[in-house]
Amino acid sequence: MASGVRSITLSLGLGAFLVLNGAFAADPAGSTGKLVRLRFSDPAQLEALNTSGQYEVVEVKGDRAIAIQHPAPTAGKLAAVLAKRVSLAEAGVAGLETVLENVDDQLAQFRAQGNVGKYHTYASALAELADLCSNYPNLLKSESIGKSYEGRDLMAVRLTGSAGLEAEKPKVLIFGLMHAREWISAELPFYLLRYLLTNYGKDPEATKIVDNLSIYILPVSNPDGLEYSQTQFKMWRKNRSPQDGGTGVDVNRNFTVGFGAGSSDYVDSDVYHGKAPNSELETRAFCSLFEREKFIASLSFHSYSELVLYSWGKDTSLPPDAVELTKRGKAMADLNGYTPGQVARILYTAGGATDDTFYQTYGAWAFTFELGTEFVPADKKIEPICKQNLPAVLLFLKTAIDSARPTTGIARQDRPKISNFFSLYDIYPLK
């Protein structure tokens, strides 16, 4: 990685963390971990922390990073192995200091009030999707794409209008809440959905988008994790599937492409990749949906850091369509004010994630927005964050219409026909 590639300016939001420090006693089930900050001189040091089993890097700013340091096992052979890994990883960084003793205290406001404020719960998300489908039956249909370990539906809706033959329309996927604690990532899908539905037939741009695409929207991709995070007020990241010696897999490290790169084989790690690629029900549900629908593009929402991300996450090499990915990423970042870049080059190695697999295996233009400057912003910030990102999301949708596929992925004879509804460059010329 070239020097200076991490010279991006992000807000650490440490003031809020420090104010909350010590405000509440630790959860009876035990703290998720402590928040620490550090300095590094080589990106490989961040990968060493992530793979050590005890750290999860959550933000990078220049040569500084914020990480969650998880409790370490205290007995047994595994404890000794992890202790050695952690010691080696820590030896490569400087200025390691605690910012917040209990990272769960970032949810202190919600814990104190006993609810999640204006954020969607899993139940309220299902209810709103049902209401929207009832109110817009000619535009919207719901579908469960699969079940979680605890039996919750991964509920999606398909939005499309009347123009053209549905079978010929390009299909796109937009999804959020793959990581349980990233509550804001479920809000933008709902904001987009309401915007397109209420403006259909009134605003020419929204009408063209809905008429000329089949848009699949899945606001909550990890319902079990969300339920746990919101009912226990914990900064939980993974799903809730039982594992040997622990609970949960980071679904966004469980996909095939780059599996194991930059993630951990320690089950209690927040970035535990699972026993094998596609071991999780959520992962398999996404892959089955992609195989069936052959999406031309996908956009996922995470938090936080104000980034527009694209492949590769598995390593720092350039993908085959690097020029086009960069052009599209920059065009979207110009609209939301975020920093665009390749995951492994501006953050850290993150193999087994959705974007790499959706791009390489299924031939989709795959992007991720890292929303805001904290995992769970105060709920008064929900609408401003959504409003800030809406133009970039609309551009993502417009570029999916009449767009050629990447050079990767499904064989050309298997690719769905794309009708020439109207030219991409008549809407928004990429420069």
Q: What would the pLDDT profile of 297-311 be if each residue is shown by its tens digit?
A: 999 999 999 999 999
Query: Worst-scoring range by mean pLDDT, 95-104, 164-173, 344-353, 413-422?
Result: 413-422
Picking from 260, 264, 214, 232, the residue whose alpha carbon sits closest to that of residue 111 is 232
* Distance from C-alpha of 233 to C-alpha of 343, rounded to nearest angstrom: 29
Q: What is the pLDDT of residue 429?
A: 37
Q: Is 43 exposed, middle or buried, given 0-12, 13-18 or 19+ CB atoms closer than 10 A?
A: buried
Q: Is omega for the bond preceding 312 within 30 degrees of 0, making it cis? A: yes
Of residues 12 and 116, more confidently modeled: 116
Each residue of 179-189: pLDDT tens digit? 999 999 999 99
C-alpha angle 196-198-204 in degrees, rounded to nearest 5: 60
The answer to whether residues 309 and 341 touch, using CB atoms and an 8 Å cutoff, is: yes
Amino acid at 422: F
Q: What is the pLDDT of residue 92?
A: 86
Picking from 307, 271, 297, 253, the residue whose alpha carbon sits closest to that of residue 424 is 297
The answer to whether residues 256 and 278 touch, using CB atoms and an 8 Å cutoff, is: yes
Collapsing DSSP to helix, strand or coil, 173 comes out as: strand
Picking from 255, 252, 253, 282, the residue whose alpha carbon sits closest to that of residue 265 is 253
Mean pLDDT value of segment 387-403? 95
Rounded to two decimals, the pTM is 0.88
Of residues 16 and 414, more confidently modeled: 414
* Distance from C-alpha of 350 to C-alpha of 364, rounded to nearest angstrom: 18
* Distance from C-alpha of 353 to C-alpha of 342, rounded to nearest angstrom: 13
Query: Is residue 396's pLDDT more than 80?
Result: yes
The rounded percent of the chain whose pLDDT value lies above 70 is 86
Q: What is the pLDDT of residue 80?
A: 81
Q: What is the pLDDT of residue 168?
A: 77
Collapsing DSSP to helix, strand or coil, 35 comes out as: strand
The rounded percent of the chain whose pLDDT value lies above 90 is 77
Mean pLDDT value of segment 386-397? 98
* Distance from C-alpha of 227 to C-alpha of 157, rounded to nearest angstrom: 20
Q: Residue 339 is encoded by which pair of tokens?
A: 């920093």
Q: How confident is the model at residue 404 (pLDDT cuts 50, 70, 90)?
A: confident
Query: Is residue 226's pLDDT more than 60?
Result: yes
Q: Residue 244 is encoded by which pair of tokens?
A: 């040997």
Q: What is the pLDDT of residue 26?
A: 31
Query: Is residue 62's pLDDT more than 80?
Result: yes
Q: Residue 233 is encoded by which pair of tokens?
A: 């007020």
Annotated active-site residue 370? The verdict is: yes
Q: What is the pLDDT of residue 415?
A: 54
Query: Is residue 217's pLDDT more than 80?
Result: yes
Task: Please report the domains of the chain, with CATH numbers, ordered by start residue.
Answer: 14-113 (3.30.70), 122-427 (3.40.630.10)
Amino acid at 375: F
* Distance from C-alpha of 213 to C-alpha of 418, rounded to nearest angstrom: 10
* Distance from C-alpha of 257 to C-alpha of 359, rounded to nearest angstrom: 9
Which helix or strand (DSSP H or E) is residue 281 part of? helix 281-293
Mean pLDDT value of segment 376-399? 97
Query: Is residue 77's pLDDT more than 80?
Result: no
The answer to whether residues 311 and 366 touch, using CB atoms and an 8 Å cutoff, is: yes
Q: What is the pLDDT of residue 166?
A: 59
* Distance from C-alpha of 12 to C-alpha of 18, rounded to nearest angstrom: 11
Picking from 304, 298, 300, the residue whose alpha carbon sits closest to that of residue 381 is 304
Q: How confident is the model at residue 13 (pLDDT cuts 50, 70, 90)?
A: very low
Picking from 182, 190, 187, 268, the residue whose alpha carbon sits closest to that of residue 226 is 182
| Dihedral class, residue 415 (left if φ above 0, else alpha if ψ from -120 to 50, else beta) | beta
Q: Residue 110 is encoded by which pair of tokens?
A: 């919600």
Picking from 292, 180, 165, the residue whose alpha carbon sits closest to that of residue 236 is 180
Each residue of 205-215: pLDDT tens digit? 999 999 999 99
Q: How confident is the model at residue 422 (pLDDT cuts 50, 70, 90)?
A: very low
Catalytic residue among 291, 370, 374, 383: 370
